[in-house]
Amino acid sequence: MGDYYRSPYESPTFENDVRDLFLELAPLYENLHAYVRRKLKQYYGADKFPSTGHIPAHILGNMWAQDWTNIYDLVAPYPEKRTVDITKALINKNYTITRMYKVGEDFFTSIGLYKMPPLFWEKSMFVKPVDREVDCQPSSWEFMNRRDYR
């Protein structure tokens, strides 16, 4: 099965294809970075930003700079406009957290991928417990046992 999934990448021009894709997407990322940096400089002051052009990771919300929700209100492109919140619509249609995961699974199985194994459904924490603190830092682990993909 792995050979099948990798086959689109086994092309004599793969390295050039990836480079071309990077070159095509780079301007989008550069513009996004410049926009966010400008908004943050306006808020925090230009003296907080190095001349190297990077955004200090700790300003973005956490040590890994992977979650920008803490700065959304500072960088939202149209702050006077309300964001779309579909929570009520999902509740009205009787969606639950588990149902949303099942809909996602249905999509992936519709394109030929496998269903999640039973251990995923049995051992995953879909809702944060109210009785204790948990740290669910996303990470990837060894999936070779083909039983547990949490």
Across 74-94, average pLDDT: 92
The secondary element (H helix, E strand) that includes residue 5 is helix 2-6
Any idea what the Cα angle at residue 70 is, between residues 64 and 75, rounded to 5°?
Answer: 105
75 within 8 A of 42, measured Cβ to Cβ: no
For 44-82, the pLDDT digits (tens) are 999 999 889 999 888 887 777 888 888 999 999 998 998
Check whether 95 is labelled as a binding-site residue.
no
DSSP letter string, 14-74: HHHHHHHHHHHHHHHHHHHHHHHHHHHHHHH-GGGS-TT-PPPGGGGTSTT----GGGHHH
